Amino acid sequence: MADIAFIGLGNMGGPMAANLVKAGHRVIGFDPVPQAVEAARGKGIEIAESAGEAASQAEVVFSMLPAGQHVRAVYSGAGEVIAKAKPGTLFIDSSTIDVASARAVEEAASAAGHLMVDAPVSGGVAGAEAGTLTMMVGGSDAAFDMAKPFLEIVGGKVVHAGGPGNGQVAKVCNNMILGISMIAISEAFTLAEKLGLSPEKLFEISSTASGSCWAMLNHNPVPDIVPTSAANRGYVPGFAAGMMHKDLKLSQEAAAQAGVATPMGAEATALYTMFVNAGRADQDYTAIIKFIDPTRE
């Protein structure tokens, strides 16, 4: 059994760290927020005074942080994880962050003699609690092989996406598809209804026709079309619009850096920016249909 540091014990990190404890590992956590620390203690996680102190006691360091700036700060900055970790420590960053930060931190970790993978996740808080997250992993073969047994505890599906940063590439590209799809479905279901075709009939036809897609089948923005949609529960997340907005912005940063035109991704980002600026970040991302059809309010 391993000694594992876990940095960032929030909505996702808390349950992921708890699953590592349940699997029999010793987990030493750190988070600056007292409520997160208290909840973690209750799940059998030991608490350190700083990220660096937690890392210094571990063979493996997990992190689950809000954004790229936090990951850089924890590993290379004031958090001192790279500086304090024992040589050869394995770092697993599961935060959703920009590709450039993921690659920069991996480079710094490698230069200091550590191994690192980026392993962003899909599956939300329910997946974190159940240990069924999909893990998209970027890193060397050696780092991936070392990380896999730990990733299999917190995740249900673990995919090696290629070299450093490729987990983040997979995550932003997947979520750009999801954001664009959600808007397309919202437009089509609204148009159909205004033209006299019920959402139920459009679903019956399109769900097995060429317009079908994952978002239509699982997160249909019209209430009571599919059982798994947050639309049925008053658009309570689920997957918050603020999270979708964050991921779309990451896709546009990456597109600008790679010199790739993503006009549909840009439109989706603009629409979710307006939605979030209207104070709706905490609604489910399916609620974007109310922007397309304000009569649904």
Q: What are phi and psi of 138, to 5 degrees?
A: -115, 140
Catalytic residue check, 194: no
The reply on whether position 72 binds ligand NAD by CB under 6 A is no
Question: Of 51, 99, 147, 169, which lies in the binding site for ligand NAD, with binding defined by CB under 6 A?
Answer: 51
Q: Is 233 helix (H, G, I), strand (E, B) or coil?
A: helix
What distance in Å separates the CA atoms of residue 247 and residue 197, rounded to the nearest whole number?
A: 33
253-282: contacts with ligand NAD (CB under 6 A)? none
The reply on whether position 121 binds ligand NAD by CB under 6 A is yes
- Smaller CB separation from ligand NAD, 51 or 116: 51
- Smaller CB separation from ligand NAD, 40 or 192: 40
The reply on whether position 13 binds ligand NAD by CB under 6 A is yes
Sequence letter at residue 92: I
Q: H/E/C letters for each residue in 30-98? A: ECCCHHHHHHHHCCCCEECCCHHHHHHCCCEEEECCCCHHHHHHHHCCCCCHHHHCCCCCEEEECCCCC
Exactly one of 84, 171, 246, 290 is catalytic; which is it?
Answer: 171
The reply on whether position 56 binds ligand NAD by CB under 6 A is no
Strands 3-7 and 26-30: parallel
The reply on whether position 248 binds ligand NAD by CB under 6 A is no
Among all residues, which ones are annotated catalytic? Answer: 171
Provide the binding-site residues for ligand NAD, judged by CB under 6 A.
7-13, 30-33, 36, 51, 64-66, 70, 73-74, 79, 95-96, 121, 124-125, 243, 246
